[in-house]
Amino acid sequence: MTDDKYRAPEGMTLEGRLFRPATLAELAEAVEQAFDYRGDVTLELTSGVKIEGYVFNRYPSGPRPFLQLFAKQESGTIEIPYADITAIAFTGKDTASGKSWEAWVAKKESHRRTEADQAEAAAKVRGHL
């Protein structure tokens, strides 16, 4: 493998991708990508359990590497050893993708206005305006 096997090409997103690492090195690289991803991922564990959540930290070195995530359906954090992971799917929306300044500028004024209005409406619904 190469170090950037799991890296998304420039300007693209990992959203929708599924990784089944074959080696510990590939697993470590896939976890790095999950850590860098601004969306939820779904981890398949050796036990058969699937956990969906946001990977916010990882400890790749040491005798027992593990990651930490906020599970989507639970409160609190969960620690999962690398050794328990068989696959990582980038199932959640990549919240950092597709919002470039260029894309914003390239949109028609009416589209920008619509998006701005939608963002404002969402904040109002939450009582934040």
Partner 1 sequence: MAVPISQMYTVAKYVLTQRLKGVKRYPLVLMLEPLFRCNLACAGCGKIQYPDHVLDKRLTPEQCWAAAEECDAPMVSIPGGEPLIHPEMPDIVRGLVARKKYVYLCTNAILLERKLDDYTPSKYLTFSIHMDGLLEEHDLAVCRDGVYDVAVKAIRAALKRGFRVTTNTTLFDDANPERVRAFFDEMMKLGVEGMMISPGYSYQKAPDQKNFLKRNRTRDLFARILSDRKRTWRFNQSPLFLEFLMGQREYQCTPWGNPTYNIFGWQKPCYLLQEGYAKTFQDLLNDTEWDRYGTGRNDKCADCMVHCGYEASAVEDTFGSWSGFGRTVKATLLPGHVSR
Interface residues with partner 1 (CB under 8 A) are 35, 38-40, 54, 56-59, 68, 70, 72, 92-93, 95-96, 99-104, 116, 119-120, 123, 126, 128-129
Query: In this complex, which beta carbon is closest to partner 1, that of residue 19 or of residue 54?
Result: 54
Strands 18-19 and 41-45: unpaired
102 neighbors 112 (Cβ within 8 angstroms): no
The CA distance from 60 to 32, in Å, is 9
Query: In this complex, which beta carbon is closest to partner 1, that of residue 48 or of residue 76?
Result: 76
Query: In this complex, which beta carbon is closest to partner 1, that of residue 69 or of residue 85?
Result: 69
31 neighbors 88 (Cβ within 8 angstroms): yes
